[in-house]
């Protein structure tokens, strides 16, 4: 791992292209990131609650959450996580294509720690991912995983 600090991130994202861009962004970063991915809110909650097929899942240091997904969208997922006594301390960064003021307000109202609109271009997207790493893993003190 070349002396890099290890961080666990749960990416809740249904777009395979965005998953790959996120993976590439973290691969180029300063830390070793275990990027765990699920493609909807139901799977995210199963992952976080160690339900099958995620019985051996780790508690992530941070969650990157898309808003627009099938089955259970990011808004519902955010609400579920932030009202769960065991999960609510995990920081959640909403990373979505929506630039809607209503979505921004609602996300913060539900307990999001940060809201980022995904940039369109490849280089800009990678910069966002790398700045997330710089901020959340170099500047912020995260809660212990227990």
Assigned domain for 67 exists: yes
Q: 62 with 36: CB under 8 angstroms?
A: no
Distances (CA, A) of 29 to 21, 24, 61: 13, 9, 16
pLDDT digits (tens, 9 = 90+) for 79-109: 999 999 999 999 999 998 889 999 999 999 9
pTM tops 0.85: yes
CATH number for position 33: 3.40.50.2300
The neighbouring-strand residues paired with 35 are 9
Q: Is 130 inside any structural domain?
A: yes
User: What is d(CA 85, CA 143) in angstroms, rounded to the nearest whole number?
Assistant: 14
Q: Residue 126 in contact with residue 28, Cβ under 8 Å?
A: yes
Task: Determine the structural domain holding residue 86 and report its residue range.
Answer: 6-134
Q: What is the pLDDT of residues 7-32, one digit of tens each?
A: 899 999 999 988 998 888 888 777 78
């Amino acid at each position: 791992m070349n002396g890099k600090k290890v961080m666990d991130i749960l990416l809740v994202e249904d777009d395979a292209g965005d998953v790959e861009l996120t993976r590439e962004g973290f691969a180029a970063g300063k830390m070793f990131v275990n990027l765990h991915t699920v493609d909807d809110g139901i799977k995210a909650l199963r992952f976080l609650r160690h339900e099958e097929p995620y019985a051996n899942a780790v508690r992530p240091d941070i969650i990157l959450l898309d808003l627009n997904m099938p089955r259970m969208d990011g808004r519902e997922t955010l609400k579920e996580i932030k009202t769960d006594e065991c999960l609510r301390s995990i920081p959640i960064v909403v990373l979505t294509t929506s630039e809607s003021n209503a979505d921004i307000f609602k996300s913060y109202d539900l307990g999001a720690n940060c809201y980022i609109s995904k940039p369109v271009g490849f280089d800009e997207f990678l910069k966002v991912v790398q700045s997330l790493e710089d901020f959340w893993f170099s500047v912020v003190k995260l809660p212990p995983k227990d």
